[in-house]
């Protein structure tokens, strides 16, 4: 039992990273844009988030406060991701470039920018870029009082996480209501499902696509920052983020494009990625554990396409650009 609890708690740490990445991509894909640049976006979020907190600490010295650093890191990461997605949006929406190719280009570009910024900070700071212990603790601190954490079983599962986990959960719930209950959310879904119908109904396709994609990119980028600031120890890690963005893309499918599913989905994916350290099953080599998320995603993808049920499909226009004059 305690092993399962500790597995869940550990899974949440990496799951939080994925949850941000996935929620952002869900929002993007709901508008019909398949942004394959998540990998690059998360790299940029990680590098700029770290940079924001690092230079803030450098400027503020010992007076640096944890909450300010956290907010700055979130803002910097969001801005970096939003900027990267703005490039993607401009190209695919206004200049009508192919979404797959543009997304991959953004992956290459973003990875380059992230690594460049990380390396550049190291070179310009003479070798080592990391936050001081106080800020480091602030990023990985538990936010609930010990009394709650110490409740048997549920205490650890529910209350022992960092502030980022709760932010992500709030975001998921908010996004669920936004997409399902608000007019803007319905319009956004209409844009993703059937742009020509939405256009005829007077919804501005361009505006919704831009906003959803840019906001989505910003949210995904926060995931990269959370990775660097929690699991990687507030130090820039050259290859650390590689593959995380693609895993987030997989998780979008696993969650069937639903924000609420992302909450448990990300914990499951997080668990699969660390299970090799905690659960050893005879005859199954541990490396094989790490491909489980992808295998499961493929299976989900196949089953949904076979069952062909309407509400469990990718947005109908996913990956396709909308040209009014070709209507």
Partner 1 sequence: MREERTPFIRLAKRGSMDPRKIWLIRVSSIVIALILGFIPILLTGNNPIAAYGVIIDGSLSRPVYIRQTVKIAVPLLGCALAIAPCFKMRFWNIGGEGQITMGAVAATFFALNFAGTVPHVLLLIIMFLAAAIAGGIWAFIPAFFKAKWNTNETLFTLMMNYIAIGIVAWLQGGPWEGRKGSQLIPMFDDAARLPNVLGVHCGWILVLVLVVLMYFYMNKTKQGYEIAVIGDSANTARYAGMNVGWIIMRTMFISGAICGIVGFMTVSGANYTLYSGVANGVGFTSITVAWLSQLNSFAMIFISMMLAVLEKGANTLQTRMSVPASISDIITGILLFAMLSCEFFINYRMILRGKTKKEVEK
Partner 2 sequence: MRKLGLMLLALVLSCTMLFAGGAGETATTASADGTTTVKVGLICIGDENDQGYTYNFIRGRDEATQILAEEGINVEWMTIFNIGEDASCIDANIEAAEEGCQIIINNSYGFEPFMLEVVDDYPEIEFISCTNCASWNDGRDNTHNAFANIYEGRYIAGVVAGMKLQQMIDEGQITPEEAVIGYVGAYSFAEVISGFTSYFLGARSVCPSVTMKVMFVGSWSDATAESDAALALIDEGCVMISQHSDNTTPATAAQSRGVFHTGYNNDMTGIAPNASLIGTRIDWGIYFSQAIRAYVNGEEIPQDWCAGMGEGAVVMTPLNEAIAAPGTAEKVAEVEAALADGSLEVFDTSTFTVAGETLTHAYALDTDGDFTADSEEAVYDGAFHESEFQSAPYFTVQIDGIEWLNSAY
Residues that bind partner 2 (CB under 8 A): 2-3, 6, 10, 14, 118-119, 122, 127-130, 133, 136, 140, 227, 231-233, 235-240, 274, 276-278, 280, 285-287
CB of 243 to partner 2, least distance (A): 11
CB of 82 to partner 1, least distance (A): 16
Q: Which is nearer to partner 2, 62 or 128 (CB)?
A: 128
Q: Which long-range contacts (CB under 8 A, 24 or more apart) does 142-150 make?
A: none
Which residues of the chain form contacts with partner 1 (CB under 8 A)? 34, 36, 40, 87, 91, 94-98, 100-102, 104-116, 119-120, 123, 202, 204, 206-207, 243, 246-247, 249-250, 253, 285, 287-288, 290-291, 294-295, 297-298, 301-302, 305-306, 308, 314, 318-319, 325
From partner 1, partner 2, none, interface partner of 3 (C-beta below 5 to 8 A by class): partner 2
Contact 243, 7 (CB under 8 A): no
Report in angstroms the alpha-carbon separations of 12 from 38, 79, 108: 20, 25, 28
d(CA 51, CA 73): 8
User: Could you count the other beta carbons within 10 Å of the beta carbon of residue 39?
Assistant: 28
* Helical packing angle, 205-226 and 163-181, nearest 10°: 160
Nearest CA among 169, 151, 222 for reference residue 12: 169
CB of 322 to partner 2, least distance (A): 32
From partner 1, partner 2, none, interface partner of 231 (C-beta below 5 to 8 A by class): partner 2
Q: What is the DSSP string of 83-131?
A: HHHHHHHIIIIIS---HHHHHHHHHHHHHHHHHHHHHHHHHHTTS--B-
CB of 217 to partner 2, least distance (A): 23
Nearest CA among 10, 8, 13, 15 for reference residue 269: 15
Dihedral sign for Cα atoms in the order 144, 150, 155, 157: positive
CB of 72 to partner 1, least distance (A): 21
d(CA 162, CA 153): 18
From partner 2, partner 1, none, interface partner of 133 (C-beta below 5 to 8 A by class): partner 2
What is the distance between the terminal CA atoms of the chain, rounded to a whole angstrom? Answer: 58
d(CA 74, CA 251): 22
Q: Which is nearer to partner 1, 16 or 102 (CB)?
A: 102
From partner 1, partner 2, none, interface partner of 232 (C-beta below 5 to 8 A by class): partner 2
From partner 2, partner 1, none, interface partner of 235 (C-beta below 5 to 8 A by class): partner 2
CB of 14 to partner 2, least distance (A): 8
From partner 2, partner 1, none, interface partner of 277 (C-beta below 5 to 8 A by class): partner 2
Backbone angles phi, psi at 243, to 5 degrees: 95, -20
From partner 1, partner 2, none, interface partner of 182 (C-beta below 5 to 8 A by class): none
Q: Which is nearer to partner 1, 2 or 308 (CB)?
A: 308
């Amino acid at each position: 039992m305690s092993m399962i609890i500790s597995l869940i708690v550990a899974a949440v740490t990496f799951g939080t990273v994925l949850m941000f990445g996935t929620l952002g991509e869900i929002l993007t894909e709901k508008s019909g844009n398949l942004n394959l640049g998540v990998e690059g976006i998360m790299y940029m979020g990680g590098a700029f988030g770290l940079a924001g907190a690092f230079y803030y600490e450098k400027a503020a010295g010992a007076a640096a406060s944890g909450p300010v650093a956290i907010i700055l890191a979130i803002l910097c990461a969001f801005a970096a991701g939003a900027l990267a997605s703005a490039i993607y949006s401009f190209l695919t929406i206004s200049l009508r470039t192919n979404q797959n190719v543009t997304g991959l280009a953004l992956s290459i570009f973003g990875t380059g920018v992230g690594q460049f910024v990380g390396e550049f900070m190291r070179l310009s700071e003479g070798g080592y870029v990391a936050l001081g212990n106080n800020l480091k603790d602030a990023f990985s601190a538990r936010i609930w009082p010990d009394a709650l954490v110490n409740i048997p079983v549920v205490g650890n599962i529910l209350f022992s996480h960092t502030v980022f986990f709760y932010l992500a959960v709030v975001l998921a719930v908010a996004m669920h209501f936004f997409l399902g209950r608000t007019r803007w959310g319905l319009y956004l879904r209409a844009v993703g499902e059937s742009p020509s119908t939405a256009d005829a109904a007077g919804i501005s396709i361009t505006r919704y696509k831009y906003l959803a994609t840019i906001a989505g990119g910003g949210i995904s980028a926060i995931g990269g920052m959370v990775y660097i600031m929690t699991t990687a120890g507030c130090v820039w890690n050259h290859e650390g983020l590689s593959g995380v963005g693609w895993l987030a893309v997989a998780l979008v499918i696993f969650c069937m494009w639903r924000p609420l599913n992302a909450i448990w989905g990300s914990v499951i994916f997080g668990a699969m990625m660390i299970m090799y350290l905690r659960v050893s099953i005879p005859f199954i080599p541990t490396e094989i554990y790490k491909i489980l998320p992808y295998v499961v995603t493929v299976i989900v993808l196949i089953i949904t396409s076979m069952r062909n049920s309407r509400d469990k499909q990718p947005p109908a226009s996913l990956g396709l650009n909308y040209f009014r004059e070709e209507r």
